[in-house]
Amino acid sequence: MEALRVISSTTHPLKHLFRLASFSKFTPSTLCFHCPPSSITVASAVRSRRSSTSASPPSTSDRDAVRSIRLKKVEELRATGFEPYAYKWDRTHSANQLQELYKHLANGEESNDDKDCVSIAGRIVARRAFGKLAFLTLRDDSGTIQLYCEKDRLASQFEQLKALVDIGDILGASGSIKRTEKGELSVCLNSFSILTKSLLPLPDKYHGLTDVDKRYRQRYVDMIANPEVAETFRKRAKVVSEVRKTVESLGFIEVETPVLQGAAGGAEARPFITHHNSLGRDLYLRIATELHLKRMLVGGFEKVYEIGRIFRNEGISTRHNPEFTTIEMYEAYSDYESMMNMAEEIVTRCAIAVQGKLIIDYQGVEICLERPWRRETMHNLVKEATGIDFAEFGSDLNKAKDVTLSSLNMGSNNQEANSIRACQSIGHVLNEVFEMVVEPKLIQPTFVLDYPIEISPLAKPHRRHAGLTERFELFICGRELGNAFSELTDPLDQRGRLEDQVRQHNEKRAAAASVSKVSSAEAKKSDDDSYDVTLDDDFLTALEYGMPPASGMGLGIDRLVMLLTDSASIRDVIAFPVLKIQQ
Amino acid sequence: MDGTIEEATKAVAGLSVGNSTAQPEAGAALSKNALKKELKNKQKEEERRRKEEEKAKKAAAVPSSYAQKSLAADDDDMDPTQYLENRNKALSALKTAGINPYPHKFHVSMSVIEYVEKYSGLNSGEHLENVEISLAGRIMNKRSSSSKLLFYDLHGEGAKVQLMTDARISDLSESEFAKFHGGVKRGDIVGVVGFPGKSKRGELSMFPKSFVVLSHCLHMMPRQKPAASSDIESVKKIDAWIPGSGRNPETYVLKDQETRYRQRYLDLMLNSEVRHIFKTRAAVISYVRRFLDNLDFLEVETPMMNMIAGGAAARPFVTHHNELNMRLFMRIAPELYLKQLVVGGLNRVYEIGKQFRNEGIDLTHNPEFTTCEFYMAFADYNDLMEMTEKMLSGMVKELTGGYKVRYHANGLENEAIEIDFTPPFRRIDMIEDLEKMAGLNIPKDLASDEANKYLAEACTKFETKCAPPLTTARLLDKLVGHFLEETCVNPAFIINQPEIMSPLAKWHRSKPGLTERFELFINKHELCNAYTELNDPVVQRQRFADQLKDRQSGDDEAMALDETFCTALEYGLPPTGGWGMGIDRLAMLLTDSQNIKEVLLFPAMKPQDEPPVKTP
């Protein structure tokens, strides 16, 4: 590997540029972007990066200097009749195709067949130039390949290459194929063309990695520096495509429902508000697609789905971005049992598509996605984890709270105890305990069944257990991945429950507003609830026209992608996450 | 258990006080209740329905017994508020009796479509009594020939089957049967279990043994055509509709546009063509996706909320993130983000998604609309024209079976025109052909005052009015609209737009002042816009600066500078072809829709809060 031999003398990129600019043709320019010299695996790439000495990232003034030098090169190219921003390049192969196609070439062997004249294009990520020889590493979206540049073959172009080609430039190149003595498959260049002249230096790999903020703000730099980042987005596309294929193979039809709505329903969350000028009215950004998709069932579609963006005006975290993607699907004449099978089907098919296996690793934990997944009621899970049997409390809310507080050994004044005390119903207490104690432990895929009716305003009452609903949430790695129910179809019951929801919200808001005068911490909390919850009357009217018995499910696509790409943060799977305003 | 039933019965009896005909039957039903638990519940339900029915009829002052007269007809005479009230009372009576009027689950053994496909080959009069099928769907028509024989039309997923509901086949006794079916209303969603067969007249039917209401239609459904036979015809005719053929919403059962768009579910229920519009829309998107996937494009998602609304020139929606205390714009185009991904090494990307523009609502504009944009490294606008031809002609061929589409471009009262998608599409060089068509000789330097003056004079001469500000771009656009776009009925590319009109397109490799850009026009409307992408960051900054000048002169459609995007270009965007298409407009062309609202499930509508102004 030639790269490793010369990599040791990595110096400040800027110096090289000055050297190049002054045409110091005879010193071996070992400007090297820290990158594997060929399409070797990510693991070894990491090793080779670590073995090299790293340069410090260019400061702003360095950047400006590089920029002005490269702008001069742009001028120089134009002055000599070359367009540094080309129009087009016809490729015959991708880097990876060549690596596959010429696997058989032995070290030192050259393929001289006429048909072996290939043409490729990509970004230069490493460059080593000697007197009559230069090596470039070119990367396209399939992988990398070495460009073997001899003065004898390139003639006058060789000097142009040495003087004007920088790391970061996008090159089109054609030539024949050979494997070097060191075993590196290379394109022996007959000619090349600068397709795009880059003006800014690529960040140093080692430091680029640590600058998390920059990674998200300039995702393209992240992707150039870390090919595995681009791979995550390829996998994301594969997941979405597999989800779509799965539901379409079962006869579901894709529809699009509005993002801008007169009332934000289908979930409990603070919505974004915007204003439509010509209508002269405020509109909400949707917080769920549920209520419109159910209208489709009323209209006679029996299987519909939508993959789309949802917006919630909430804080950002490793699990939350203000806009995120879900699939919601609804199927007439089915119930939540069938949605459990559907969830298993979708997630396992995606796992196979992306990872090729069902036992996967997430952040060091082995997750087994083999079907069937555990199905257990919320009551039993809470009982199992805490010993508290919520079925025993009947409707005695105070007893439920007392037992909970004492058996969980909560201090009298901590936040958790306060949130238990604030609960408005037994269902809320149960859910609170579930979220505190059980949720984080649900590492292996688990369907949590039969949620209390108080916290499930859109789910149908359980056919056997009063006070519960036919609802499940799917948990993997302690995270909620999906939420589904046998849909509530009774318009009167639905109206009552939505009105309750509005009332509860307003009570909470009023309560929070009154305490907020006391402390600033509470003031923040009151702000959390200070939005309006609106009742979607049109939806209720639609139900009055009759919706068939149905089940529906929502799955968080971003979280599914996190799981299947072993990503710790939602920001790693959203190309351009929302970030705080830069100072 | 008996106690509660007893109570419930009383409650129900209370509802029907003074109804003499119902009483004896109720007694009979009660004696049977003692036999079987299952039967009891069923009968309770029937009984209550029946009584409600009687009461409803009474309220509507129709003095008759249902066995002799069509129930549906009676209902139609009723006041809608009264109808809703009656139905609500019937349901609450059921609930009081402990019966869930909204069952959790009904097992369906096949869809109505599958049923029609499987059994339409039966001979007239043939019955397969040994086969058991369960179907579910919505009752869209009810006819009774006697209290023992009723015909229902069961609709599901666009298909229809007749339910020949005969008391002799039913599990219910004759009196139960009459009572139960008295309560089944047009619009109800029902599940039936029975066997397949064909009537003597040859109509495919299903003969239910058991019959259960799964969900209730509490409102009076707008009436379909009165005669049952014409109803059958209309369904048959409608099923023949395929994308690309003409459509006439004037002939719909539900014609009122406001109702159709505000209550799309009614539109879907009553106007069977409408579901095909949305299936066509789904097929269009699915075709585009498949086309690009096959070329190794990657589907990606870019933000819908941005700090700067870039990539196009339009007024954006503004919103606010509370916790971050940050003003955000809804995107007006995904272009700048998608190009950043190409910079990052994803060489072929596309996004199908919503864009938002804070503009007026009219026949071709909705505040949110769907586009597809794709970006392809190492390709130019010539490649993209070929791809466009291939994609659109291929799609039309697959969806319609041919290359020609019928479209009522001149209103429903005039003959539909034919739009021919046979490739290749005509290419019109914008400036060259404009000069030819209009006999102009436009100054070569389009950025000059001279050119501006020349074009302003041309506009005056041809009486093409241009609203101020009279920028060169806007004047030119007017003339092009008048002379060129008007000629583009069949798909045609207008190519090589000037730089001043195209801030993100690359300068033409051989024609100074122009860009390598095309717009595809069909039926005189722009469908696609594409170009060889401008990837020289210096020139890009200059173009943004020029746009700023237009902005300052009052053109609020000029584009804003996006510094993040310019920085990305400095890292090097490969030569790239970029392409955008309006999905809604394409769906309109293939479904003969003249209003964008026809192809949007829930179009934006004016608020209904204020009562409509009624003209006397």
The answer to whether the CB atoms of A222 and B568 lie below 8 A apart is: no
Q: How far apart are CA A521 and CA A230, in angstroms?
A: 41
**pLDDT of B409 higher than 70:** yes
**Percent of chain B surpassing pLDDT 70:** 83
Q: Average of pLDDT values for A297-303? A: 95
pLDDT per residue as tens digits for the range A33-61: 333 333 333 333 333 333 333 344 456 67
Please report, as a single letter, which amino acid is at residue A314.
Answer: E
To the nearest whole Å, the CA of B69 is away from the closest chain A CA by: 25
CB-CB contact of B72 with B188 (8 Å)? no
Report the b/e string of B194-204 with b at 16+ CB within 10 A: bbbbbbeeeeb
To the nearest whole Å, the CA of A576 is away from the closest chain B CA by: 6
Look at residue B69 in the predicted model and tell me its pLDDT: 43
Residues from chain A contacting residue B136 (CB–CB below 8 Å): 332-333, 548
Could you tell me the two tokens for B502? 């195209």
Find out whether the peptide bond into A445 is cis, omega within 30 degrees of 0.
no
To the nearest whole Å, the CA of A342 is away from the closest chain B CA by: 17
**pLDDT of B104 higher than 90:** yes
Look at residue A145 in the predicted model and tell me its pLDDT: 96
The answer to whether the CB atoms of B319 and A87 lie below 8 A apart is: no
Instruction: Average the pLDDT over each of A233-247, A377-391, A497-511, B363-377 and give the range with the smallest value.
Output: A497-511
pLDDT per residue as tens digits for the range B163-189: 999 999 999 999 999 989 988 999 999
Query: Which stretches does DSSP call E strand in A269-408?
Result: 273-276, 281-285, 303-311, 323-332, 359-362, 365-368, 374-377
Look at residue B15 in the predicted model and tell me its pLDDT: 40
The answer to whether the CB atoms of A233 and B299 lie below 8 A apart is: no
Q: Predicted confidence band at B235 (pLDDT cuts at 50, 70, 90)?
A: very low
Q: Output A205 or B361, whichever has higher pLDDT.
A: B361
Backbone torsions φ then ψ of A313, nearest 5 degrees? -85, 70
Q: How far apart are CA B412 and CA A375, in angstroms?
A: 57
- DSSP H or E stretch at residue A194: strand A185-196
Q: Predicted confidence band at A361 (pLDDT cuts at 50, 70, 90)?
A: very high
What's the DSSP call for residue A85? B
Instruction: Average the pLDDT over each of A115-119, A498-502, B558-562, B564-568 and give the range with the smallest value.
Output: B558-562
Could you tell me the two tokens for B446? 């389009």
Q: How far apart are CA B249 and CA B233, in angstroms?
A: 17
The position carrying tokens 């769906």 is B587
Residues from chain B contacting residue A73 (CB–CB below 8 Å): none
Residues from chain A contacting residue B337 (CB–CB below 8 Å): 575-576
Report the b/e string of B81-116 with b at 16+ CB within 10 A: eebeebbbbbbebbebbebebbbbbbebeebbbbbb
CB-CB contact of B436 with B275 (8 Å)? no
Q: How far apart are CA B304 and CA B333, in angstroms?
A: 9
Q: Which of A87, A217, A237 sits opposite B300 (nearest CB)?
A: A237
User: Could you give the angle at the alpha carbon of B263 between the alpha carbons of B262 and B265, nearest 5°?
Assistant: 145
Backbone torsions φ then ψ of B360, nearest 5 degrees? -65, 160
To the nearest whole Å, the CA of B209 is away from the closest chain A CA by: 19
Q: Which of A200, A277, A335 sits opposite B105 (nearest CB)?
A: A335
Q: Which of A71, A198, A549 sits opposite B106 (nearest CB)?
A: A549
What is the chain B residue with the closest CA to A271? B321
Look at residue B78 in the predicted model and tell me its pLDDT: 80
What is the Cα B433 distance to its own chain's centre?
Answer: 38
To the nearest whole Å, the CA of B173 is away from the closest chain A CA by: 27
Looking at the DSSP assignment, which residues form a beta bridge with residue B153? B141, B162
**Among A33, A309, A334, A267, which Cα is nearest to A168's?**
A33
The answer to whether the CB atoms of A463 and B286 lie below 8 A apart is: no
Instruction: Average the pLDDT over each of A105-114, B12-21, B597-606 and give the range with the smallest value.
Output: B12-21
In Å, how far are A295, A437, B506, B594 from A79, measured between CA atoms? 64, 71, 19, 53
Q: Predicted confidence band at B37 (pLDDT cuts at 50, 70, 90)?
A: low
Q: How far apart are CA B590 and CA A110, in angstroms?
A: 55
Q: Which of B104, B321, B536 sits opposite A322 (nearest CB)?
A: B321
Q: Average of pLDDT values for A13-18? A: 37
**Among A569, A503, A570, A574, which Cα is nearest to A532's?**
A503
The ipTM is 0.86
Q: Average of pLDDT values for A285-298? A: 96
Look at residue B66 in the predicted model and tell me its pLDDT: 40
The answer to whether the CB atoms of B345 and A227 lie below 8 A apart is: yes
Q: Average of pLDDT values for A14-32? A: 36
Among A72, A196, A582, the residue to mutate for chain B (most B Cβ within 10 A):
A196
Look at residue A526 in the predicted model and tell me its pLDDT: 46
Backbone torsions φ then ψ of A409, nearest 5 degrees? 55, 45
Query: Which stretches does DSSP call E strand in B112-188?
Result: 133-146, 149-156, 159-166
The answer to whether the CB atoms of B572 and A170 lie below 8 A apart is: yes
What is the chain A residue with the closest CA to B260? A299
What is the chain B residue with the closest CA to A217? B564
**pLDDT of B159 higher than 50:** yes
pLDDT per residue as tens digits for the range B419-432: 999 999 999 999 99
Residues from chain A contacting residue B380 (CB–CB below 8 Å): 87-88
The answer to whether the CB atoms of A545 and B187 lie below 8 A apart is: yes
Looking at the DSSP assignment, which residues form a beta bridge with residue B134? B193
Q: How far apart are CA A31 and CA A162, in angstroms?
A: 11
To the nearest whole Å, the CA of A330 is away from the closest chain B CA by: 14
Instruction: List, as one string, the DSSP characters of B34-81.
Output: TT-HHHHHHHHHHHHHHHHHHHHHHHTT--S-TTTS-HHHHHHHS-HH
Backbone torsions φ then ψ of B46, nearest 5 degrees? -60, -45
pLDDT per residue as tens digits for the range B441-480: 999 999 899 999 999 999 999 988 888 888 898 999 999 9
Q: How far apart are CA B261 and CA B599, in angstroms?
A: 10
To the nearest whole Å, the CA of A86 is away from the closest chain B CA by: 6
pLDDT per residue as tens digits for the range B470-512: 889 899 999 999 999 999 999 999 999 999 999 999 999 999 9
Helix (H, G, I), strand (E, B) or coil at B255: coil
pLDDT per residue as tens digits for the range A510-534: 877 776 555 554 445 445 667 888 7
The answer to whether the CB atoms of A311 and B304 lie below 8 A apart is: yes
To the nearest whole Å, the CA of B191 is away from the closest chain A CA by: 9
User: Could you give the angle at the alpha carbon of A276 between the alpha carbons of B282 and A310, nearest 5°?
Assistant: 45
To the nearest whole Å, the CA of A508 is away from the closest chain B CA by: 19
Q: Which of B275, B354, B535 sits opposite A259 (nearest CB)?
A: B354
Look at residue A475 in the predicted model and tell me its pLDDT: 98
Q: Output B283 or B31, whichever has higher pLDDT.
A: B283
What's the DSSP call for residue A89? -
Look at residue A541 in the predicted model and tell me its pLDDT: 94
What is the chain A residue with the closest CA to B89? A492
Residues from chain B contacting residue A581 (CB–CB below 8 Å): 307, 324, 326
The answer to whether the CB atoms of B378 and A169 lie below 8 A apart is: no
pLDDT per residue as tens digits for the range A67-123: 999 999 999 999 999 999 999 999 999 999 999 999 999 998 888 776 779 999 999
Q: How far apart are CA A564 and CA A476, in angstroms?
A: 11
Q: How far apart are CA A375 and CA A384, in angstroms?
A: 14
**pLDDT of A320 higher than 50:** yes
pLDDT per residue as tens digits for the range A542-578: 999 999 999 999 999 999 999 999 999 999 999 999 9
CB-CB contact of B247 with B405 (8 Å)? no
Instruction: List, as one string, the DSSP characters of B348-392.
Output: EEEEEEEEE-----BTTB-SEEEEEEEEEET--HHHHHHHHHHHH
Q: How far apart are CA B65 and CA B49, in angstroms?
A: 14
Instruction: Average the pLDDT over each of A366-375, A526-535, B277-286 and give the range with the smallest value.
Output: A526-535
With 0.90 as the threshold, say if the pTM is over it.
Answer: no
Q: Predicted confidence band at A26 (pLDDT cuts at 50, 70, 90)?
A: very low
Q: Is B56 exposed, middle or buried (0-12, 13-18, 19+ CB in 10 A)?
A: buried
Q: Average of pLDDT values for B331-344? A: 96
What is the chain A residue with the closest CA to B286? A254
Q: Which of B264, B367, B570 sits opposite A199 (nearest CB)?
A: B570
Q: How far apart are CA A215 and CA B303, in angstroms?
A: 16
CB-CB contact of B156 with A300 (8 Å)? yes
Q: Which of B106, B188, B264 sits opposite A299 (nearest CB)?
A: B264
pLDDT per residue as tens digits for the range A380-397: 999 999 999 998 988 899
CB neighbours of residue B314 within 10 Å: 16
Q: Which of A141, A256, A314 sits opposite B347 (nearest CB)?
A: A141
Q: How far apart are CA A353 and CA A240, in angstroms?
A: 11
Q: Is B39 exposed, middle or buried (0-12, 13-18, 19+ CB in 10 A)?
A: middle
Helix (H, G, I), strand (E, B) or coil at A26: coil
Q: Average of pLDDT values for B271-289? A: 95
The answer to whether the CB atoms of A199 and B360 lie below 8 A apart is: no
Residues from chain A contacting residue B189 (CB–CB below 8 Å): 546-548
Helix (H, G, I), strand (E, B) or coil at B166: strand
To the nearest whole Å, the CA of A512 is away from the closest chain B CA by: 17
Backbone torsions φ then ψ of A260, nearest 5 degrees? -90, 125
**Among B160, B176, B164, which Cα is nearest to B40's?**
B176
pLDDT per residue as tens digits for the range B40-86: 566 566 666 666 665 555 554 434 444 344 444 456 678 888 999 99
Q: Which of B345, B360, B538 sits opposite A230 (nearest CB)?
A: B345
CB-CB contact of A557 with B300 (8 Å)? no
